[in-house]
Chain A
Amino acid sequence: MAGEFKLSQLAAGDSAVVRGYPKSGGAFLRLREMGVLPGTAVTLVRTAPLGDPIEIKVRGYLLTLRKSEAEHVLVEQAPAGPETGGQP
């Protein structure tokens, strides 16, 4: 499935590849430095019991972020093939 959608729209267990986000803003430098870069594979692990924040697996570790932050991250469905996001 081609087409970009928001990281916050990803369903639990699904993987995607980051495509881009706004060039400025406080959250995004930190996200980038934590390894969430265009071309990086991410997997949505779960949503918190109250609905927010979300937990993603990226570069082998677990990261949480609020939906309001994830909203601005554009992702694309991961191409079918060997698992890219779940590398420990």
Chain B
Amino acid sequence: MPSQAPEAPRTPPSAQARAPVYAIVGNPNCGKSTLFNALTGLKQKVGNYPGVTVEKKVGTAYSQHGVPIPLIDLPGAYSLAARSPDEAVTRDVLLGRRADTPAPDRILCIVDAANLERNLYLVHQVLDLGRPVILVLNMMDLVKRAGLTIRVDRLERALGVPVIACEAVNGRGIIELKMAMSRPDLPLSRHAWNVPIAIAPAVAELQASLAARDGRPPLVARAEALLLLTDQDDVRVAGSAPLCDATLGILASWRRRWEADGTDWSGTLVTSRYEAIGRLAADAVEQGRPAGPSWSDRIDIVVTHPVWGWLVLAGIMALLFLSIFTLAEYPMDWIDAHVAALNTWVKSALPPGDLNDLVTDGAISGVGGVVMFLPQILILFFFIGLLENTGYMARAAFIMDRVMSRVGLNGRSFIPLLSSYACAIPGIMATRTIEDPKDRLTTILVAPLMSCSARLPVYLLMIAALVPGDRVPLATKVGIMLLMYLLGTGGAFGFAWLFKSTLLKGAPPLMIMELPPYRIPRVKDVLLHMLERAWLFLKRAGTIILGISIVLWFLSAYPRAPQGSTAQQQVAQSYAGRAGHALEPLIRPIGFDWRIGIGLISSFAAREVFVSSTAVVFSAEHFEEGKGADIAPLRSALRDARWPDGRALFTPLVCFSLMVFYVFAMQCVSTVAVVRRETNSWRWPLFQIAYMTGTAWAVSFVVYQSGRALGF
């Protein structure tokens, strides 16, 4: 006996005391965020769903009459049978399982109209919930270009819901959409789809049990019953709302029955939905003039070509790094100058004393050092956003998947790891596109091993100190740097393999991924995304960075040396100096003394701080800070540095050992703060500090001791 969604009456206007909350659902890549941005403008907020590392996006749209319409943008999903934390959140919110986010009153289903069939699968599931739905056909421009015509009236008749055609990218259809959304009453969908006879009785039984014993509202019970009969993993379906034994019992007995007679129950349900969708699409979509290969296909021939594809990838990588190292220069210098000016001004404005020093040398200098990297971070966010929105990101993952799968990762880890060559922060924040939580965590854990640009000043200083004479031959410089980059990359892949084989071992990751058609994104959207990411970084990391900066300043400023001491003497007897002394026994086996120890400690603020703190500790006179500074005075100070027994401190071997240490060590408080935010706990950042710094020590030890044994 087929079960049907009950013919529900329209919601009476008087029953709505507040404005109905809309949830936007749709497949990834259907232009959902563009639509959300078009509807809400800047009136949106990004937060986190408590307990999971999934972002929550809410906003407000305004109708023609200025009435606010609350919106929540749910994570993209292909199906309510969730396979990733993102999809699980979408499912849970729609089923009303999340206490922090009540089930929405109405649902906006967005589909890529040029790709109707697969997109309608999710819509088909959502219609089971019996809530008022508006179907939005997005990307109508692509539909026209492909020579298709969509009979909106037929869709409306078949599904019983309003259907609005849109081009979110151009803003077309938004007004009609807002008008539909402001309607006081919307019909509940009456899509009468017959559950296949073979499993219909099971659906009815489960539905009854879920409603009666697990306390689900009737329509949610039906939707959940269908999900339980789609996904074979009932624990995954139940998620945070476990089922009672009776329900599980019913499920188990039906499964046994089907196993016995060979019915493919989950396949049956999916097939039945697609059959209904196929009939709908055949009726409503008309193919006009046959379209040749689309622009997208033509671009793909080049982009995924065995030869040209690599050139395109290399070109994009080169563009990325070039923009970091050249474009970023100007804003960085600007920020540097202004922070210094602010510092000077505050120094003179406040009365001299401890508070003055705290604010200027502690807070402003510390935070200023991080803010100075903001241009690089913004450029990277922009670039990553552009790659994602144009559709190239999926191609990069496609091309690189084979390499990534060797270490147990997925092609999607490629761009985050690549970005980490410039700065790990945008790279780590970009791991959100990685669906599998273990893959994502592994990528986050190894990303800082890709030698970021902050390590460059350290490498350059050590190379200068290492090579005799004044000028370093370019070949040597490039050669040594390449070696460091290779070490870092090798370490990243090595540890990824290790983690995926042991700690974070999981099911072999799937690489079932859609290649969306190429699009010209709205620059506005990419900029908004960039600003959003940067703001999230500053907000979360900002407080931690400020705190640590002040602590580090405190360690080197106290206790106060007697009046008239040089900076060098001050640092030497400060807490930082004492910490350096305490550290010395630990780092002597890798060739460092307590003064280098101070440098290591201060690098925790940011790696490049090593250069300036070393300048102070070794009392390099006339050493000017800032980019492009002449490091000659510092280099000669390093060359003159001695151990108490008179032998040289910075031998070539020690310089090498120091560089290797920096390749692996986890420094940079900003990265720690971001990892904390992206993993929602302190456990992983602390683990990361431990394993990376431990490895740094171990590798430096091997390098130094074998060097000594070989007579260097």
Contact = CB atoms under 8 A, between A and B. Distances in A.
Q: Bound pair: A and B? A: yes
Contacts, number: 119
Interface in B111-140: 114-118, 121
B514 A66 contact: no
A15 B411 CA distance: 26
Interface string B300-311: 000011100110
Contacts of A32: 266-267, 270-271
B537 to A, nearest CB: 31
B515 to A, nearest CB: 4
Contacts of A27: 510, 512
B402 A51 contact: yes
Nearest to A66: B511
Interface in B512-530: 512-515
A64 B512 contact: yes
B240 interface: no
Contact of B398 (A48, A60, A68): A48
Contacts of A33: 78-79, 81, 121, 230, 270
Contacts of B399: 48-50
Contacts of A35: 117-118, 121, 274
B29 to A, nearest CB: 10
Contact of A88 (B146, B270, B402): B146
Interface string A26-58: 110111111101100000001011111101000
Given A26-B510, A27-B510, A35-B117, A48 B402 contact: yes
Interface in B435-459: none
Nearest to B301: A46
A32 B268 CA distance: 10
Interface string A4-35: 00000000000000000001101101111111
B329 interface: no
Interface range on chain A (Cβ under 8 Å from partner): 20 to 34
Interface string A58-85: 0111111110110000000000000000
Contact of A63 (B264, B306, B512): B512
Contact of A50 (B146, B394, B402, B508): B402
B88 to A, nearest CB: 14
Give the secondary structure class of B's interface. Answer: mixed
A55 B515 contact: yes
Contacts of B344: none
Contacts of A49: 304-306, 309-310, 399
Nearest to A61: B115
A37 B306 CA distance: 30
A19 B405 CA distance: 28
A23 B512 contact: no
A51 B266 CA distance: 32
B507 interface: yes
Contact of A30 (B147, B294, B398, B510): B510
B512 A31 contact: yes
B510 A60 contact: no
Contacts of A63: 512-515
A66 B402 CA distance: 9
Given A29-B81, A88-B114, A34 B291 contact: no
| Most central of B304, B306, B310, B512 by chain A CB within 10 Å | B512
A59 B117 contact: yes
B328 interface: no
Contact of A34 (B78, B304, B508): B78
B483 interface: no
Interface of A: 23-24, 26-27, 29-35, 37-38, 46, 48-53, 55, 59-66, 68-69, 87-88
Given A30-B510, A65-B510, A65-B511, 11 more contacts: A26-B83, A30-B512, A33-B270, A35-B117, A55-B304, A55-B398, A60-B114, A61-B118, A63-B514, A69-B511, A88-B114
17 contacts: A29-B232, A33-B81, A35-B274, A38-B271, A49-B310, A59-B115, A59-B117, A61-B514, A63-B512, A63-B513, A63-B515, A64-B401, A64-B512, A64-B515, A65-B512, A87-B287, A88-B287
